[in-house]
Amino acid sequence: MAERLRLWLERGESGYWLRDAGSGAALRWDDPRLRVVKVAGASYRLDALQDGAFAPGRRLALVAEPENEHDPHAVGIWDAGRRLQAGYVPAELAPSLRGDEQAVALWEFRDEAGRRIGLRVLLVPADAWIQEPRA
């Protein structure tokens, strides 16, 4: 049986780096126990992205869209309250999700004016433990 993934988020310049909560070791974004993805379609939702609900460290909701006419495997990325949508899990990854993953805004991209224009999101198994970032 695999050991439960335990992470803490370490503040970086534009978001958070990942550390193993047990050992304190830095984790790479390509660690096979997790996924870090760039939100697809964020450029169509720039006004929504400005909301503080998408700030790095905030919990997000993954919402399957089986009725999506373009892609029945589509998974939307929403704020935790499901008020605003940031975009989608990349199409090539969405079919491999189980449907119970946790999602956290991990890293943001900003333009010259300081507006958030993109996000990288951490996707981990439902049973993973993620330390809440300190303010």
Q: Supply the pLDDT for residue 132.
A: 78
What is the rounded distance in angstroms from the CA atom of residue 101 to the CA atom of residue 9? 17
Helix (H) or strand (E) holding 102: strand 102-110
pLDDT tens digits along 97-127? 999 999 999 999 999 999 999 999 999 999 9
Q: Where are the domains of the chain?
A: 6-130
pLDDT tens digits along 74-92? 999 999 999 999 999 999 9
What is the dotted CATH code of the domain comprising 6-130?
3.30.70
Pairing type for strands 85-88 and 16-20 reads unpaired
Cβ-contact 68, 76 below 8 angstroms: no
**pTM of the complete model beyond 0.85:** yes
DSSP code, position 38: E
Instruction: Enumerate helices (H) and strands (E) in the chain, giving the number of each.
Output: 1, 10
pLDDT tens digits along 36-81? 999 999 999 999 999 999 999 999 999 999 999 999 999 999 999 9
Cβ-contact 62, 77 below 8 angstroms: yes
